[in-house]
Amino acid sequence: ASNRLRNKFHGCLVGAVLGDCLGAIFENDTFQSIPIEKVQKFTREGYKKQQELFYTDDTAMARSIADSLLSKNGFHGSDMAKRFTEEYFHNPYRGYGGNVPTVFSKLRDSNYADPEGPASQQFDGSGSYGNGSAMRVAPVALFAYHDPVEEAQTIAAKTSRITHTHPDGVNGAIMQMLAVRESVILNVSQGLDVFAFLDKMLSQLKNSDTSMENRCSSYVESLVRMCRLFQESKSINSEVVYRTFGNGIAAIEAVPAALMAFLCIACEPKSSFMDVIEYAISLGGDTDTIATMAGAIAGGYYGCDSIPNGWIEKCEGTAYALQRADNLFGYAVQR
Ligand code: 8NA
Ligand code: MG
Ligand code: MG
Ligand code: MG
């Protein structure tokens, strides 16, 4: 049982890196321009001639989250803010969102005194609703795996607020963390019960600390829509997902899109990690971020053994992800 869980921790972080690296190839392609066959031509044959693939901001920031949680034995706002910022100034060409560098500059100039301050000033004080805090949250689910879910939600929210304080940004990070957590808990051999999965997410999202987060409603609405779609038909085509949830940089689009990629594929009797990645990329738009989130969920569900070695070897940052997954597994288990 312990080896199975370790394999799931590995799969979660490696799956996230793979989704980012593969998705980045198709970034900003429209839904119409990348039919699944075009994605598959690349994912199934392309690796033979492909040189190294590079990760983007999604993975760079996820690494900082894992590093900070492990080195501080818990959430430490200034430390995490410093790691995000130093990584950005060390390598600013990883495809960061348009406005988030402002936060990094202010954090650095104020010596990380108020980790949530600069983010709360973004967009005239409304905060960013981009998917940039959901895209990097997977390590939180692993770090807090043996903690009560409320604690995991609190940490996810705090990691978000260093760059994203808008409720849609914060709740998007919470929702993605919950999806990853559940995928690691589930046993693949028992098959996926989509309705049980969605019910659990719904009740956990509704119960998240309302004194802090009283605006989960947009995501609750997304989850209710997912239930309705699955009640109508078990196999939902990607055009319906794209039209219902979108594929953009707003967390309220990308987070539900990523979860749907996982659910639509994993509820089929014969399905694999790569099927989820391909479906996620075929939605178009913010493909690196939708695929990294779908990859973290799918990798946590199917485990690392299900991820093709050919791609693991070609993607920058997979060795580091494996190492960090081991550290997080050690941390989670020792408690
Ligand atoms: P962000 O906080 O700068 O948000 C991204 C964008 O969303 C902003 O630049 C705005 O256009 C818009 N936005 C967010 N909140 C508001 C608001 N309250 N009012 C009006 N507009 C708003 O950055 P982020 O970290 O959320 O960005 C994450 C995404 O950016 C990821 O997908 C990541 O991969 C990256 N990305 C990069 C490229 C690229 O070509 N470099 C393209 C797409 C996405
Ligand atoms: Mg990116
Ligand atoms: Mg993008
Ligand atoms: Mg992106």
- Distances, alpha carbon 207 to alpha carbons 142, 148, 180, 195, 197, in Å: 20, 12, 18, 18, 16
275-294 per-position pLDDT tens digit: 999 999 999 999 999 999 99
ipTM: 0.95
Tell me the ligand closest to 131's alpha carbon.
Answer: 1
Query: Which of 291, 314, 298, 332 minimizes the C-alpha distance to 20?
Result: 291
Residue nearest to atom 39 of ligand 1 (CA): 95
Q: Is the pLDDT of residue 50 over 90?
A: no
Q: Is 98 in the pocket of ligand 1 (CB under 6 A)?
A: yes
142-194 per-position pLDDT tens digit: 999 999 999 999 999 999 999 999 999 999 999 999 999 999 999 999 999 99
**CB 233 within 8 Å of CB 194:** no
213-233 per-position pLDDT tens digit: 555 679 999 999 999 999 999
Q: Is 189 helix (H, G, I), strand (E, B) or coil?
A: helix
Q: Is 23 in the pocket of ligand 1 (CB under 6 A)?
A: no
**CB 176 within 8 Å of CB 258:** yes
Tell me the ligand closest to 103's alpha carbon.
Answer: 1
Residue 333: the pLDDT is: 79
Q: In this predicted structure, which of 46-60, 244-258, 293-307 has the lowest mean pLDDT?
A: 46-60
Residue 190: the pLDDT is: 95
Q: For residue 58, which atom of ligand 1 is closest to its CA?
A: 34
Amino acid present at 217: S
Residue nearest to atom 19 of ligand 1 (CA): 123
88-144 per-position pLDDT tens digit: 999 999 999 999 999 999 999 999 999 999 999 999 999 999 999 999 999 999 999
Residue 74: the pLDDT is: 97
Q: Is 231 in the pocket of ligand 1 (CB under 6 A)?
A: no
Mean pLDDT score, 203-219: 70
Residue 175: the pLDDT is: 97
Mean pLDDT score, 329-333: 89
Amino acid present at 91: N
Q: Is the pLDDT of residue 255 over 60?
A: yes
Q: Which two tokens stand for residue 297?
A: 């969920």
Q: For residue 95, which atom of ligand 1 is closest to its CA?
A: 41
Q: Please report where in the chains the tokens 């794209």 appear, as a residue.
A: 242
SS3 annotation, 79-101: HHHHHHHHHHHHCCCCCCCCCHH
The pick from 26, 56, 99, 116 for probing ligand 1's pocket by mutation, whose C-beta has the most ligand atoms within 8 angstroms, reads 99
Residue 335: the pLDDT is: 74
Residue 211: the pLDDT is: 47
Q: Is 254 in the pocket of ligand 1 (CB under 6 A)?
A: no
Q: Is 287 in the pocket of ligand 1 (CB under 6 A)?
A: no
Query: Which of 91, 68, 92, 72 minimizes the C-alpha distance to 80?
Result: 68
11-38 per-position pLDDT tens digit: 999 999 999 999 999 999 999 999 999 9
Q: Which two tokens stand for residue 308?
A: 């093709």
